[in-house]
A and B are shown apart, each in its own frame.
Chain A
Amino acid sequence: MDHAVTGLAILATTLVVVPLIAIFVYLLLKGASSVNLDFFLKNPVPEGESGGGMANAIAGSGVLLGIASLIGIPIGIGAGIYLAEFGRGTKLANAVRFTADVLNGVPSIVMGLAAYSLIVIPQRHFSALSGGVALGIMMIPTVARTSEEMLLMVPNMIREAALGLGLSNWRAVLSITVRTASPGIITGCMLAFARVAGETAPLIFTALGNAFFSTNPNQPIEALPLQIWVYATGPYEDQHRLAWAGALVLIVLIVLAVSLVRYVTSRGVLKGAS
């Protein structure tokens, strides 16, 4: 029995690792050959023709993520600072933390519906703005929780030292604690950024997609994951190729963010302070 369970546990572990490796291998095999200068610089060509790239989708993703970051990062960091510093241990902070965790689990497509009814219906047209708002709302709970965790890693001694020198509480928090934790907070923001960079569902009926190059926030706009969706479900070989390449670009962004967060939390970039 003992050996059987050990064997089963090892089997389970292999079964978990295999899909991940399979996904990466396929991404590299099918995507790497198509990630070239054309991919970043050219717009899509008409269906059926070969060549072209995803310049419009990359620029569009940039615009959408810019809007999202403008909304998500300041509010998220603010909420994180409240959770870790001003409200630590209070009932309100616990309730906010709980709600943020629950909100993290809400399907992204619901965020898209909310942004649609909040912005698209009154404006009467799809726009990059609405897509950015949907993504921004999704960033808030993630940024808040990671900032909180990073702030909690700052040793209490530092706070006490700052207060002991006669700083007022808000000043100590903003210029000592937050500054000490800032590498962690920044990587947390990058993680949230990478997460929403791959979100498709909330963009389908807010950003909508656009076959042409556009950076106007008031017009429909293309996004990398949207383009991957359309290309992957279409019939054209050449589009499949571009979809794999787009997926590879996305995953590289995400792996970078995750490793960076791991590096910061484990190696203690925070230690410069202690």
Chain B
Amino acid sequence: MVLCALSIFGIVILILSELMLRSGEAWHQFGLKFFSQTPAHDRYSGEPTYWDPVNGSFSALPFVYGTLVSSLLSLVISVPLAVGLAIFLTEMCPRFLRGPLAFITELLAAIPSIIYGLWAVFVLVPLLREHVNPLLVKYLGWTGFFKPDNPTGLGYVAAAVILAIMILPIISSLTREVMTAVPQSQREAVLALGATRWEMIRMGVLRNARIGIVGAVILGLGRALGETMAVTMVIGNTAEISESLLSNGSSMASVIANEFAEAVSDLHRSSLIEIGLALFVVTIIVNALARLLVWMVTRGAPARVH
């Protein structure tokens, strides 16, 4: 049994060492510049090329950018919804709805990402293309983040929306856990001082649970960073950095999914593994941080006996 338990450490060490071993070539070639390189310029068009498997010049910059933009955007969409859902479930939901709603969020968390991707390709992307993107261009075009130069409906926004749907259940179920850990006496004390329900939620619950909620959000971020299939299917898959959120892009996970099986050279493969290694290290750190924060809040949670 101890051996089985220790194997979990073994897996982490194994993954880390294997990925470090296989990404050695890219590391020797590019070093840390792999993640910050200024691009080579195309000989003919003068366009910057970050990722050129044919000529063997690789920089992870557009993928890091795509991952960050799509994940952060998805957090912007999902965090208010997730916290709202958690408030509804813990503070105001009638008892008969609580079970089914909790079940539905659990189910959302269990749907494989390929099915989200399938749904996004055939339902979400056409919806964005026909109805949402034109509105974004029309009303928010002046910010410079929404340019009408991509008629496909794919891109960062599509990736962010599907990511938001996918990470919502994770954030909301953890937020709910943290909010239930706030002792009932806190709520009663605030209410006794004459607070309305919203004031009670804000001062009695959210303020006490905020560290845990931040933890839940970070955990959602960790999921969004590494999400592969759904993003690969809707982000557009071009190795470019675009200011416009409606443009095609690429994320760290999507480039691995798309190119790894058909990598043209050892350097190409090694570069992709280095992106995977970065993804691994970042998600480990993000997840560990999130778990610590959630644990800090729920650790001293008294049993609900008050």
Q: A-side interface residues toward B, CB under 8 Å?
A: 1-2, 4-6, 8-13, 15-17, 19-20, 22-23, 26-27, 30, 74-79, 81-83, 85-87, 92-93, 95-96, 98-111, 113-114, 116-118, 121, 137, 140-141, 144, 191, 194-195, 197-201, 204-205, 208, 225, 228-229, 232-233, 240, 243-244, 247, 250-251, 254-255, 257-259, 262
Contact = CB atoms under 8 A, between A and B. Distances in A.
Contacts of A92: 2, 5
A13 B88 contact: yes
A27 B260 CA distance: 30
B113 interface: yes
B279 A78 contact: no
Which of A20, A117, A208: most chain B Cβ within 10 A?
A: A117
A111 B7 CA distance: 15
Which range holds the interface residue count of chain B?
A: 35 or more
B112 A110 contact: no
Given A99-B9, A199-B112, A109 B261 contact: no
Q: Which of B14, B223, B225, B291 has the most CB of A within 10 A?
A: B291
Interface stretch (B36-44, B118-126, B132-140): B118-126
B115 interface: yes
B279 A107 contact: yes
A110 B2 contact: no
16 contacts: A9-B91, A16-B105, A78-B3, A105-B219, A105-B290, A108-B226, A110-B279, A141-B8, A197-B112, A199-B112, A200-B113, A200-B228, A247-B114, A251-B115, A254-B110, A262-B103
Given A105-B223, A110-B276, A110-B280, 6 more contacts: A6-B197, A96-B5, A106-B15, A114-B14, A140-B11, A232-B122
Contacts of A258: 103, 106-107, 110
A119 B288 CA distance: 28
B114 A78 contact: no
Given A13-B101, A26-B119, A254 B18 contact: no
- Name which of B114, B169, B261, B287 has the most chain A CB atoms within 10 A of its CB: B114
Interface of B: 1-9, 11-12, 14-15, 18-19, 21-22, 80-85, 87-89, 91-92, 101, 103-108, 110-119, 121-123, 165, 168-169, 172, 196-199, 201, 219, 222-223, 225-229, 233, 253, 256-257, 260-261, 273, 276, 279-280, 283-284, 286-288, 290-291
A121 B22 contact: yes
A132 to B, nearest CB: 15
Given A81-B1, A198-B112, A225-B114, A13 B84 contact: yes
Contact of A243 (B6, B118, B273): B118
Contact of B114 (A106, A116, A198, A259): A198
A140 B7 contact: yes
Given A5-B201, A105-B219, A200 B196 contact: no
A2 B18 contact: no
Given A78-B4, A194-B110, A27 B84 contact: no
A118 B19 CA distance: 9
Nearest to A257: B110
Contact of B19 (A15, A108, A113, A200): A113
> 4 tightest A-B contacts by CB?
A198-B112, A107-B226, A12-B84, A78-B4
